[in-house]
């Protein structure tokens, strides 16, 4: 998977920089084309001569070469690469990346990078555990970077703990898996509904639910990372998208979500209906703010919203796949299976509110995937990102299996 891949390898001033030579060699052995960018501190730990001998290319460190004035373009490197890997990444570099402090060639290259970026932190255990480092790593994740978590073990300081750079062979495997996954859903179009809907009562009030959109956004990222073109139709949420292959369409009401879903589904290979659509909307929208009625009871008349899943289930062509979600509080399995049948879905993802850590708002979920034949696959409690990977794995297995027979 690494054959022919162009990789910018960023090296910073950590003792683990000595492992960068092995990393470099391992990448080249797999057929990758490696360009090293090293920070001034990195050069104190490993010489550019070693690295340029391994890569057969001059190592880039400064913005220009002093003796002949050659300019090194961080912008060109950003466009050239298929991936950037910063290994080892020190606390200082991570902090600069998090805050855009572009005072060396490596950081300017990072800021210009169009390709996915992988960061393998390496530092002493206390530096790693410091809230500042952890906060910066969270910031990097929120920008869409991939953090290759540090391993635990013996550190150069003679202490033992978390902070060691992950082993070069493992880093290479992570990159290989990433590039392999990128192909899985290539040329597939996937529509995803996410978040809650707002059903307006009057200009200042609405009916809604606690859906955060986290599961739907994690699914959108997971599909895009596997090469799919994603249309994400989202109700009002605080989430952000990172991947360029995701087209986000913001809607407010179930009616708007329904319209957009119907617009995009005919062209899609897969629909994933993750949104917590309000079942009912106010029958009448009050053009001006509803007034309190002096202690009188107020009755709201509600009418049903369109069922997006059921509508797409009716439109579904044999080659299209449809995945729904069921958030149940009782009789979970039977209710979910009934929904799958009624809405003509291929799978339904069940999460029970009885399970701690599952459902709305949180960062974790615990799911069961049920197929149209009633087969069930139970998963353990995981982050919503990992849950998204599991769901997308099931979908891509089916798509790729079918492709084999096509």
State the catalytic residues: 209
Task: Report yes or no: 233 and 261 within 8 Å, Cβ to Cβ.
Answer: yes
305 binds ligand C5P (CB under 6 A): yes
Smallest gap from residue 330 Cβ to ligand C5P (A): 13
The interface with ligand C5P within residues 269-298 (CB under 6 A) comprises 273-275, 277
Closest by CA to 274, choosing from 341, 206, 223, is 223
CB 257 within 8 A of CB 196: no
Of 282 and 324, CB closest to ligand C5P: 324
CA 76 to chain centre: 26
Between CA 215 and CA 365 the distance in angstroms is 8
Nearer to ligand C5P, 181 or 233 (CB): 233
Pick one of 192, 215, 326, 367: the residue that binds ligand C5P (CB under 6 A): 326
Strand partners, 370: 348, 376
Nearer to ligand C5P, 109 or 193 (CB): 193
Q: Is the preceding peptide bond at 88 cis, omega within 30 degrees of 0? A: yes
Pull the structure tokens for residue 399.
């798509």
Number of residues that bind ligand C5P (CB under 6 A): 14
User: Does position 325 bind ligand C5P by CB under 6 A?
Assistant: yes
Q: Give the nearest distance from C-beta 290 to ligand C5P in angstroms.
A: 25
CB 7 within 8 A of CB 33: yes
Q: Whole-number minimum distance, CB 339 to ligand C5P, in Å?
A: 5
**137 versus 312: smaller Cβ distance to ligand C5P:** 312
SS3 179: helix
Each residue 187-226 as x (binds ligand C5P by CB under 6 A) or -, in order, gives ------x---------------------------------
Is there a contact between 121 and 135 (Cβ–Cβ < 8 Å)? no
Among 122, 137, 219, 308, binds ligand C5P (CB under 6 A): 308
Q: Match 């600069």 to its residue by tokens.
A: 96
Enumerate the H helices of 207-331 as residue ranges.
214-225, 254-264, 308-315
Q: Which of 376, 369, 365 is nearest to 350 (CA)?
A: 369
Options 47-55, 294-302, 306-314, 354-362: segment touching ligand C5P (CB under 6 A): 306-314
Residue selected from 191, 254, 270, 370 as contacting ligand C5P according to rule CB under 6 A: 254
- Give the Cα separation of 122 and 168 in Å (integer): 12
Q: Quote the least distance from Cβ 315 to ligand C5P, whole Å.
A: 13
Nearer to ligand C5P, 339 or 366 (CB): 339
Burial (CB count within 10 angstroms: exposed 0-12, middle 13-18, buried 19+), residue 100:
exposed
Under the binding rule (CB under 6 A), the answer on residue 322 touching ligand C5P is no
Minimum distance of ligand C5P from residue 254's CB (angstroms): 6
* Intra-chain end-to-end CA distance of the chain, in Å: 24
- Is residue 51 helix, strand or coil? helix
As beta bridge partners, residue 234 has 194, 250
CB of 99 to ligand C5P, least distance (A): 38
The contact set with ligand C5P (CB under 6 A) reads 193, 254, 273-275, 277, 305, 307-309, 324-326, 339
């Amino acid at each position: 998977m690494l054959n022919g891949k162009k990789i910018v390898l960023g090296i910073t001033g950590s003792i683990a920089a000595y492992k960068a030579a092995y990393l470099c060699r391992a990448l080249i052995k797999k057929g990758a084309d490696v360009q090293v960018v090293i920070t001034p501190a990195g050069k104190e730990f490993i010489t550019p001569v070693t690295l340029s001998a391994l890569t057969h290319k001059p190592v880039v460190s400064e913005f220009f070469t002093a003796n002949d004035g050659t300019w090194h373009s961080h912008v060109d490197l950003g466009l050239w690469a298929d991936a950037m890997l910063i290994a080892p990444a020190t606390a200082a570099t991570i902090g600069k990346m998090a805050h855009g402090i572009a005072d060396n060639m490596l950081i300017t290259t990072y800021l210009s990078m169009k390709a996915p970026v992988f960061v393998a932190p390496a530092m002493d255990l206390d530096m790693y555990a410091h809230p500042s480092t952890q906060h910066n790593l969270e910031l990097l994740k929120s920008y869409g970077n991939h953090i290759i978590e540090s391993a635990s073990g013996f550190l150069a300081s003679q202490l033992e703990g978390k902070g060691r750079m992950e082993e070069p062979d493992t880093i290479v495997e992570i990159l290989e898996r990433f590039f392999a996954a990128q192909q899985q859903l290539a040329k597939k179009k996937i529509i995803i509904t996410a978040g809650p809907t707002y059903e307006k009562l009057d200009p200042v009030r609405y009916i809604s639910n606690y859906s955060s959109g986290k599961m739907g956004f994690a699914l959108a990222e997971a599909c895009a990372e596997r090469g799919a073109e994603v249309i994400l139709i989202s109700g009002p949420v605080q989430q952000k998208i990172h991947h360029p292959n995701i087209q986000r369409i913001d809607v407010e009401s179930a009616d708007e979500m329904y319209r957009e879903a119907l617009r995009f589904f005919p062209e899609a290979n897969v629909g994933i209906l993750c949104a917590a659509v309000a079942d009912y909307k106010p029958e009448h929208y009050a053009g001006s703010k509803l007034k309190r009625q002096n202690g009188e009871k107020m009755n709201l008349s509600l009418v049903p919203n369109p069922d997006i899943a059921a509508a797409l289930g009716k439109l579904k062509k044999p080659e299209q796949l449809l995945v729904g979600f069921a958030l149940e509080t009782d009789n979970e399995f039977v209710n979910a299976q009934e929904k799958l049948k009624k809405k003509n879905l291929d799978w339904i993802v069940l999460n029970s509110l009885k399970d701690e850590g599952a459902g709305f708002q949180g960062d974790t979920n615990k799911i069961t995937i049920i197929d149209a034949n009633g087969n069930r696959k139970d998963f353990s409690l995981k982050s919503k990102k990992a849950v998204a990977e599991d769901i997308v794995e099931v979908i891509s297995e089916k798509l790729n299996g079918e492709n084999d027979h096509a």
